[in-house]
Amino acid sequence: MGIFFVTQTPKDVPRDVLAQLGSRVQHQLRAFTPEDAKALKATVTTFPNSGYDLEEVLTTLGTGEAIVTVMNERGAPSPVAWTRLRAPQGSMSPTLPAQMESAVAASPLLPRYGTAIDRDSAREILGKKLEAAHAAAVAEQQRIDRAKAAAEFEKQQDALDRQRAKEERAAQAEYERELKRSRTRTTSSSRSRAPRSPLEEVLGSRVTQKILTGVVEGIFGTRRRR
């Protein structure tokens, strides 16, 4: 990349800028006034030493001629050259596709730049990073939600287990109290009454009485029909 300053006279360019210029193409300068002559002498002093009488040459240059000095491969100013510039040759019409293809094929830069590379733009790279960050945030939030749900389920399950254990203990305690009362009643009843025979035990049981009542009612027809 380079910057080109185009001006009628070097004095139009600030000295600090002019001192940093490398390549230079100087066309004819006029010296009709004392100010022009002074500017011509100042311009000559800005060129490297040369075998030309630049004060005379710069005022006698013709059309297409210029005093040229450029930076060489070592970055140093080349010797001043009195140069005739060749007029550019070109066409204002579009280049034919066949000519363009042949020019590209003959270019020595084709092996390096011939293959098109569609790299990701900065916007695409940032977009992918944002999408990845959003997906990671969503995944992390889902993980947190699942952990909270699992903790809440475990908490509810623990509460149910405690309630069930409490009910089982209460039922066991009630069963033990009933069993104790039943044993107490059985002991009191056995002390107050005389022992009965096995036949009396069978005939005196509620199940036997219920069966006998059903048989009697069936024989005499006293059972209420439904």
Per-residue pLDDT of the chain (226 residues; tens, 9 = 90+): 677 888 877 778 887 887 777 788 888 888 888 888 888 888 888 787 778 888 888 888 888 888 888 888 888 888 888 988 777 777 778 888 998 899 889 999 888 888 888 888 899 999 999 999 999 999 999 999 999 999 999 999 999 999 998 988 888 888 788 878 877 877 666 555 555 555 555 555 566 666 656 655 555 555 444 4
Q: For residues 199 and 6, what is the distance between their CA atoms, to the nearest angstrom?
A: 140
Residue type, 126: L
* Nearest in space to 95 (alpha carbons), one of 104, 106, 82: 104
Are the C-beta atoms of residues 217 and 223 closer than 8 Å to each other?
A: yes
Tell me the two tokens of residue 174.
């009630």
Q: Which residue has the tokens 């030493």?
A: 49
At residue 226, the pLDDT reads: 43
Q: What is the pLDDT of residue 22?
A: 79
Contact 83, 66 (CB under 8 A): yes
State pTM to two decimals. Answer: 0.37
DSSP state at residue 64: T
Strand order from edge to edge, sheet including 81-84: 24-26, 65-69, 81-84
Residue 225's pLDDT is what? 47
Does residue 91 sit in helix, strand or coil? coil
How many CB atoms are closer than 10 A to CB 21?
A: 16
Question: Angle at CA 47, nearest 5°, toward 43 and 51?
Answer: 115
The two structure tokens encoding residue 179: 């069993």
* Encoded amino acid at 59, one letter: T
